[in-house]
Amino acid sequence: MTQAVTRRPRRHLDGVLLFDKPIGWSSNAALQKAKWLLRAEKAGHTGTLDPFASGLLPICLGEATKFSQFLLNADKVYLAEVHLGVRTTTADPEGEVIETRPVQVDAAAVLAVLPPFIGNILQVPPMHSALKRDGKPLYEYARRGETLDRAARPVVVHRIDLVALAGDRLTLRVHSGKGVYVRTLAEDIGAALGCGAHLAALRREAVGPFRLADGCDLPTLEAATEAERDAWLLPADCLLGDLTRLDLDIDSADQFSHGQAIWRSGLRVGAAYAVYAPDGRLLGVAEGDEDGKLAPKRLIATRQ
């Protein structure tokens, strides 16, 4: 006799969970688990982490998903463990070893090769990545043994700090902009050191203004009561901290909530604004248009 499975009713839940993704989980699996534990109707994450990596994965719930794009371009901080002397097919621990070399590297040698990798640099995306060519991710070509030409892309690495060096294990803290592949960085640094390398482990410590130290891991979330889980959620407007805040009066707030552009002095054309009602409720995000009006772009849904 088949036992019936009890369905957990979903909730209207808005906010942002700073989740510590476990090693071995895909970002989508972590998202679905957190969504299930919180019984949230709608959820999305703001940038993937590879299964072998761990760390900060901001998860947007409900209306906060409308503002997730504001984190996609955010700076990130990673703690990277680089295995010197060993190259793999994927430049990370999931690939096959293709070359080993002896390692005779000290801290001075590491510090000497880092400067060219800091600042505005060009980086060739790895074949084992989700970037698409003719509608297919590059990793599908790589799994078939194909290597395609990839153009180098401009990216920004703000700083790289040497944290530790013990034998063939190098630990770096990387503060980067959008689109930087840390495993490519690790492989290129290994090449510059003359011994080769791959990224052995990766932990994301920060995304934009958010820090891993303020996040919640899976065991904590699983052991918590529903009220305790809800307490981990940040308000949706935590994603809008870089936007200028505008507070509307009652009439303007009503018009704005219905999708109408509002005239407002001092607006900058093309600038984004976080818009609030008189009672402090977030109404949405707007943009200054050429007519001097505040044009709604993302509105918070009104729930009865």
As annotated, the active-site residues are 50
Residue for token pair 């949706």: 236
Phi, psi of 249 (to 5 degrees): -80, 175
Strands (E), 49-196: 54-61, 76-84, 86-88, 97-100, 119-123, 132-133, 136-137, 153-166, 169-176
Measured distance CA(14)–CA(41) in Å, rounded: 9
Phi, psi of 223 (to 5 degrees): -80, -15
Residue type, 262: I
Phi, psi of 62 (to 5 degrees): 60, -130
Measured distance CA(109)–CA(47) in Å, rounded: 33
Measured distance CA(147)–CA(127) in Å, rounded: 7
Q: Which DSSP letter does residue 269 get?
A: B
What are 119's two structure tokens? 């600042």
Q: Is the dihedral of CA 68, 71, 72, 76 positive or negative?
A: negative
Contact 239, 16 (CB under 8 A): yes
